Structure 1
Amino acid sequence: MKTKILFIIISCFFFLNSNAQCAMCRAVLENEEGQSAAKGINDGILYLMSIPYILVFGLGFFVYWKYFKVKKS
């Protein structure tokens, strides 16, 4: 159980460093000098991508918590 939790935590850190751009965004943003807009687009895409995962994890944790709390009583 501890190794599963550790694996999930470590895998969360790996997706933070990924480059999340579609092909069209990448082609347009590579031509810009300074690459500041490209970094901003990457951060925005990662932010939008992470919200559904956080919500699903929260809902799953809530259901798990309620299920085992009722079972022990």
Structure 2
Amino acid sequence: MKKLCYITLMGWMLTFSNQLMAQCSLCTKTAQQLGEGPAKGLNNGILMLALTPLVIIGFLAFRWWKSNQEA
């Protein structure tokens, strides 16, 4: 059941990731001046830069949890 919930959550996040806004106020003003196309690219770049450390932290937390669960 946990795997199903996890898969559902990940699918939902990937489906709606293009609607997320990941910009600070300064980046938002810059993106508004660039136009819609480059603004979407800037937003996607910010999301990708934020995703990398979160995936690494999640992987390390999972490994730590699994090693403590077996002991």
1:49 — aligned with what?
50
Query: Gapped runs of 5+ residues in structure 2?
Result: none
1:28 — aligned with what?
30
CA distance in 2, matches of 1:46, 1:15: 12
How many residues are aligned here? 69
Q: TM-score, normalised by structure 1?
A: 0.66
Which digits, 9 at most, give the CA deviation of each residue in 1:9-45, with x for residues without a partner?
Answer: 3674477231111212212221334x22111110111
Query: Gapped runs of 5+ residues in structure 1?
Result: none
Q: Which moved more, 1:10-19 or 1:55-64?
A: 10-19
The one-letter code of the counterpart of 2:33 is: N
Larger helix proportion of the pair: 2
CA distance in 1, matches of 2:45, 2:10: 22
Provide the aligned C-alpha RMSD in A: 2.4
Compared CA separation, residues 11 and 57, structure 1 to 2 (3 A): farther
Percent identity of paired positions between Structure 1 and Structure 2? 28
